C-alpha cells in the first residue's frame, strides 16, 4: 500500500474499510476484521447489499410504504415476540400465523443461533420472513421462507450448501490472547484453533509477551452471505518474543490435511502441546511447578492449575495402561505411547477411560480435580521414556516429520504464496490502523 493511500486512509478509515470490502469481494475475501470497530461495518456487507436492492426511492415517490430488510441472529433468550419487536415488526396477524408453524418453535430457545431476515414496512407490517440455520451435516443449511405476496401466506423450505468465504484478521497481545482476539472480533473457536496450531512452539499460558502479534486467514461458512459457522484457519503467522512462526493448511490427496510452514515443513507434532485445551477459562490460570512432596527436585511433572471439571485429553495416540486410584496421585490415568513413551495424568476428579482402551491424540480421558495428595484443583502431568521421567515441555515439542510429496510441491508452493500475500495484506492493514489511532 502506498504512503499516500495510508495517509488518505488514516483520514477516512471508515470509507477505506467499506471500499476494501468491495475490492476484496472480487478476490473471494469479503471482510477484514482488525483491532478497531470499523471491521464490523464491513462484516455487515451482506445486509448492506440487500438494502441496495430496495425500491425505496420509487416507493416513496409513489407514496407506497417503504419496505425495510433486516437480518439478525436469534439469541438464546429471544422469544418470537421479542425478536419481531426488535426488528420493528408490529403485526399481530403475522405473529399469530407464525406461532402455528412448528418450525418457528425450534428457532427460539436453542443453541443454533439461526439467522432471521425480516422484511417489514415502515408501518411495522410483516412482508417476508426468512430463517436460515445450519444442518446436522455441518456443510449445508435450511432456508425457510414465509411471504405474503397477496392475501395468503406462502411457506417454502429449501436446502442449500454453505459457501466458504475468507476473512483476514490480526491482533497485538497486550494482556492475553483472548483480549486481542476479542478486540479484533475473532470468534472464540478460531482463537482456540490459533493457539492449538502453534502450541508445539509457543506455550500460550507462559510464553506470550506484550507486543506479540499475529495475523491469520480463516474461513467463514455462509448461508446467503450470512455467517453461520466458523471454518478452518487457512494460514496464520505468530510473532512471539521476536520469533516468527507460520502455518499453512494444505491437503494432499489421500491424506489428512495438515499445517505446514511456508517452506513446506510440517508443523504437526507427535504430541499435543498441552493435556488441557487452551480455553477462555483455563487461560486465566498460570502454570506452576509446585512441589506437592515439599521437595522441588522430587517433583517430576508439570502442574496445570485449572478449575475442577476442565476436560483432560491424552497428548498422543496410545493405550490406557492404568486407570484408577493410586496413592498420592489420587485418580490417575497412565497412557502408553510408542517407543517406550508414556504419560501420566493425576489428581483427576473423574476418569472417562478404561484399561486397555485405545486413544487418539486429543481424546478426553478425564477431568481436572484434586484427588490424592493435592492442595487444590490442578492437573499433574508427567512424561516418561522407558519409565524415566523427562521434561514434559521438551517432549511435547519434538516433531514428527510429515513431508509434502514431490509431485504435490508445485501445488503447495502456489497455495503458500497465495496465503503469504493474504497474510501480508493483513499485516499491512493492521500497521496502518495502528498508525491511525
Which CB atom, from 337 or from 347, has the smaller least distance to Zn ion?
347
| Total residues belonging to the chain | 437
Which CB atom, from 227 or from 301, has the smaller least distance to Zn ion?
301
Least Å distance, CB 201 to Zn ion, is 24
Which CB atom, from 203 or from 303, has the smaller least distance to Zn ion?
303
Site string for Zn ion, 375-414 (x = CB under 5 A): -----x----------------------------------
Report the distance separating Cα 93 and Cα 16, nearest Å. Answer: 44
Per the CB < 8 A criterion, the answer to whether 233 and 249 are in contact is: yes
Per the CB < 8 A criterion, the answer to whether 29 and 167 are in contact is: yes
Which CB atom, from 274 or from 419, has the smaller least distance to Zn ion?
274
Least Å distance, CB 233 to Zn ion, is 33
Which CB atom, from 28 or from 376, has the smaller least distance to Zn ion?
376
Which CB atom, from 171 or from 369, has the smaller least distance to Zn ion?
369
Alpha helix stretches (DSSP H) within 144-260: 177-183, 188-197
Per the CB < 8 A criterion, the answer to whether 353 and 345 are in contact is: no
Looking only at the bridges linking them, the beta strands covering 29-33 and 163-172 are parallel
Taking CA atoms, 114 is separated from 13, 121, 142, 405, in Å, by: 31, 23, 10, 42
Least Å distance, CB 307 to Zn ion, is 17
- Judged by CB under 5 A, the number of residues near Zn ion is 3
State the residue number with the nearest CB to Zn ion. 380
Which CB atom, from 8 or from 325, has the smaller least distance to Zn ion?
325
369 binds Zn ion (CB under 5 A): no
347 binds Zn ion (CB under 5 A): no
Report the distance separating Cα 19 and Cα 12, nearest Å. Answer: 11
Report the distance separating Cα 23 and Cα 17, nearest Å. Answer: 10
Q: Which residue, 230, 155, 136, is CA-closest to 188?
A: 230
Q: Which residue, 247, 185, 180, 169, is CA-closest to 210?
A: 180
Give the three cell numbers for residue 436.
491511525
Of 303, 313, 334, 369, the one binding Zn ion (CB under 5 A) is: 303
Report the distance separating Cα 43 and Cα 21, nearest Å. Answer: 8
Least Å distance, CB 401 to Zn ion, is 32
CA torsion angle for 129, 141, 32, 67 (degrees, to 10)?
Answer: -10
227 binds Zn ion (CB under 5 A): no
222 binds Zn ion (CB under 5 A): no
Of 171, 301, 330, 369, the one binding Zn ion (CB under 5 A) is: 301
213 binds Zn ion (CB under 5 A): no
Report the distance separating Cα 183 and Cα 186, nearest Å. Answer: 8
Among 272-280, 294-302, 407-415, 426-434, the segment contacting Zn ion (CB under 5 A): 294-302
Which CB atom, from 269 or from 380, has the smaller least distance to Zn ion?
380
372 binds Zn ion (CB under 5 A): no
Interaction site with Zn ion (CB under 5 A):
301, 303, 380
Amino acid at each position: 500500500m502506498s504512503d499516500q493511500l495510508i495517509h488518505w486512509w488514516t483520514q477516512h478509515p471508515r470509507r477505506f474499510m467499506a471500499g476494501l470490502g468491495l475490492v476484496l469481494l472480487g478476490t473471494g475475501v469479503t471482510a477484514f476484521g482488525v483491532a478497531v470497530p470499523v471491521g464490523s461495518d464491513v462484516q455487515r456487507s451482506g445486509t448492506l447489499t440487500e438494502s441496495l436492492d430496495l425500491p425505496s426511492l420509487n416507493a416513496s415517490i409513489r407514496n407506497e410504504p417503504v419496505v425495510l430488510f433486516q437480518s439478525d441472529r436469534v439469541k438464546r433468550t429471544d422469544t418470537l415476540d421479542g425478536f419481531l419487536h426488535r426488528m420493528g415488526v408490529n403485526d399481530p396477524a403475522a405473529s399469530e400465523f407464525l406461532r402455528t408453524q412448528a418450525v418457528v418453535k425450534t428457532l427460539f430457545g436453542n443453541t443454533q443461533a439461526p439467522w432471521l431476515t425480516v422484511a417489514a414496512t415502515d408501518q411495522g407490517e410483516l412482508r417476508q420472513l426468512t430463517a436460515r440455520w445450519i444442518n446436522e451435516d455441518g456443510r449445508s443449511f435450511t432456508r425457510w421462507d414465509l411471504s405474503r405476496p397477496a392475501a395468503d401466506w406462502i411457506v417454502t423450505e429449501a436446502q442449500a450448501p454453505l459457501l466458504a468465504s475468507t476473512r483476514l484478521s490480526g491482533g497485538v497481545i497486550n494482556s492475553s490472547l483472548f483480549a486481542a482476539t476479542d478486540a479484533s472480533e475473532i470468534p472464540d473457536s478460531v482463537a482456540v484453533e490459533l493457539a492449538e496450531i502453534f502450541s508445539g512452539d509457543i506455550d500460550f499460558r507462559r510464553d506470550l509477551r506484550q507486543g506479540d502479534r499475529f495475523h491469520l486467514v480463516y474461513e467463514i461458512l455462509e448461508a446467503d452471505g450470512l455467517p453461520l459457522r466458523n471454518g478452518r484457519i487457512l494460514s496464520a503467522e505468530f510473532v512471539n518474543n521476536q520469533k516468527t512462526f507460520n502455518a499453512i493448511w494444505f491437503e494432499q490427496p489421500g491424506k489428512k490435511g495438515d499445517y505446514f510452514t511456508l517452506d513446506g515443513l510440517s508443523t504437526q507434532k507427535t504430541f499435543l502441546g498441552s493435556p488441557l485445551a487452551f480455553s477462555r477459562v483455563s487461560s486465566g490460570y498460570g502454570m506452576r511447578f509446585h512441589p506437592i512432596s515439599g521437595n522441588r527436585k522430587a517433583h517430576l511433572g508439570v502442574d496445570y492449575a485449572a478449575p475442577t471439571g476442565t476436560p483432560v485429553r491424552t497428548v498422543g495416540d496410545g493405550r490406557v495402561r492404568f486407570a484408577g486410584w493410586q496413592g498420592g496421585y489420587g485418580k490417575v490415568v497412565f497412557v502408553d505411547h510408542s517407543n517406550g513413551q508414556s504419560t501420566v495424568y493425576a489428581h483427576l476428579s473423574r476418569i472417562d477411560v478404561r484399561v486397555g482402551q485405545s486413544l487418539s491424540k486429543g481424546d478426553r480421558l478425564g477431568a481436572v480435580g484434586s484427588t490424592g495428595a493435592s492442595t487444590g484443583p490442578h492437573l499433574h502431568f508427567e512424561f516418561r521414556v522407558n519409565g524415566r521421567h523427562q521434561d514434559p515441555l521438551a517432549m511435547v515439542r519434538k516433531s514428527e516429520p510429515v513431508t509434502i510429496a514431490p509431485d504435490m510441491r508445485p501445488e503447495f508452493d502456489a497455495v503458500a504464496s497465495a496465503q503469504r500475500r493474504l497474510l501480508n495484506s493483513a499485516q499491512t492493514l493492521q500497521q496502518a490502523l495502528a498508525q491511525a489511532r
